[in-house]
Every structure is written in structure tokens, then in C-alpha cells.
């Protein structure tokens, strides 16, 4: 039984370490795309992520929600898309497609947007993360990050320390 628990601990620690390494590599990759290659948005395996800053899509997408966008301009009427207009990224619903001209409108807006071209579309919204505001506030607060990191380090030290003591006793 003790051998099984020991193996489970080792697998769990290895899994956590691998996940942390993957997250760190993902953050570095995103940082390089945005800051070194001066990309306007991240391209991660054909997807990108955006944060909503206005209430124009309220009831469907709220302020501070995050959306995952599948990059490309293969879209249909009623799709929610993100497109670039001047220096802004706008996420609205397509209400009409006429050849290369696309008309969008925010679900919470009273009037249609100016027509855009298909080339302006970044991609189609495929997933919405609602209520991220609270988690973002918690995990970007230094008062939370430091105790979480310290707890994680102490957990790893404790687990490895117990393993070494157990090995000496045998």
C-alpha cells in the first residue's frame, strides 16, 4: 500500500511540474508573439483569445468576459465574429453577408455597424468564458500569488522530504 501511495505522489508531482512547465512555455510563446514579433493578437494553433471591454454584446457576452476566436474568415450570418476596425478589435454578430461586404451589429446596440470587408475579420467566436473578472482579480493580486507559490514550493519540499526519511528508515 505504501509503495502505491509513493508512486501516486511521484506521478502527481511530475504531473504538476509538467503542467507548470507547459504553462510557462505558453506564456513565453505569447510574450514573444506580442512583444518581440509585434503581433496584434496571439495565434496559438489557429486560435486566439480576447477580452471584451464594452457592453455592446451584453446578454450574450459581458464586459470582462474572455472569448476564444478561431482565426479565419470562413463565416456565416448569425456568427459572432471579431474584426479589426482601425486600431480596435470589435466582437459583434453578423446580420447580413452580401458578397464581400459584411454587416455586423452588437446584440445590445440599436443600429447596425458600418459594412466591413471579409478581410477585416480576425475569426469566429467559438467559446465564451463568463465571469472571469473575479478569477482575474484574484490571480493577478500579488497578495494571492505569493502565498500560492510558497504553498506549492512547501508542498513539494514536504513530499520529497518524507520520501527521503522513509528511504533512510528502511
Of 74-83, 143-152, 159-168, the one with minimum mean pLDDT is 159-168
**Is the full-model pTM beyond 0.85?**
no
Cα dist. 123→75, 120, 138 in Å? Answer: 8, 9, 30
Please determine, for residue 107, whether its predicted confidence score (pLDDT) is greater than 70: yes
pLDDT of residue 146: 86
pLDDT of residue 161: 65
- Mean pLDDT, residues 86-106 taken together: 91
What is the distance, to the nearest Å, from the Cα of residue 135 to the centroid of all Cα atoms in its chain? 12
Residues in the chain: 170
pLDDT in tens, 25-34: 888 988 898 8
User: E strands, 2-108, where?
Assistant: 47-51, 66-71, 80-85, 88-98, 101-105
pLDDT in tens, 47-67: 999 989 899 998 899 988 899
The pLDDT mean for the chain works out to 85
pLDDT of residue 165: 53
Amino acid at each position: 500500500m505504501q509503495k502505491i501511495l509513493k508512486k501516486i505522489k511521484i506521478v502527481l508531482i511530475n504531473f504538476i511540474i509538467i503542467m507548470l512547465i507547459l504553462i510557462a512555455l505558453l506564456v513565453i510563446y505569447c510574450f514573444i508573439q506580442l512583444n518581440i514579433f509585434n503581433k496584434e493578437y496571439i495565434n496559438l494553433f489557429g486560435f486566439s483569445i480576447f477580452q471584451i471591454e464594452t457592453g455592446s454584446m451584453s446578454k450574450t457576452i459581458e464586459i470582462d468576459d474572455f472569448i476564444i476566436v478561431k482565426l479565419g474568415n470562413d463565416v456565416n450570418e448569425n456568427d459572432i465574429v471579431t474584426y479589426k476596425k482601425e486600431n480596435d478589435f470589435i466582437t459583434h454578430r453578423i446580420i447580413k453577408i452580401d458578397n464581400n461586404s459584411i454587416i455586423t451589429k452588437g446584440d445590445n446596440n440599436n443600429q447596425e455597424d458600418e459594412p466591413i470587408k471579409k478581410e477585416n475579420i480576425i475569426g469566429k467566436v467559438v467559446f465564451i468564458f463568463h465571469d472571469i473578472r473575479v478569477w482575474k482579480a484574484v490571480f493577478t493580486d500579488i497578495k494571492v500569488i505569493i502565498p500560492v507559490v510558497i504553498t506549492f514550493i512547501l508542498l513539494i519540499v514536504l513530499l520529497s522530504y518524507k520520501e527521503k526519511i522513509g528511504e533512510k528508515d528502511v
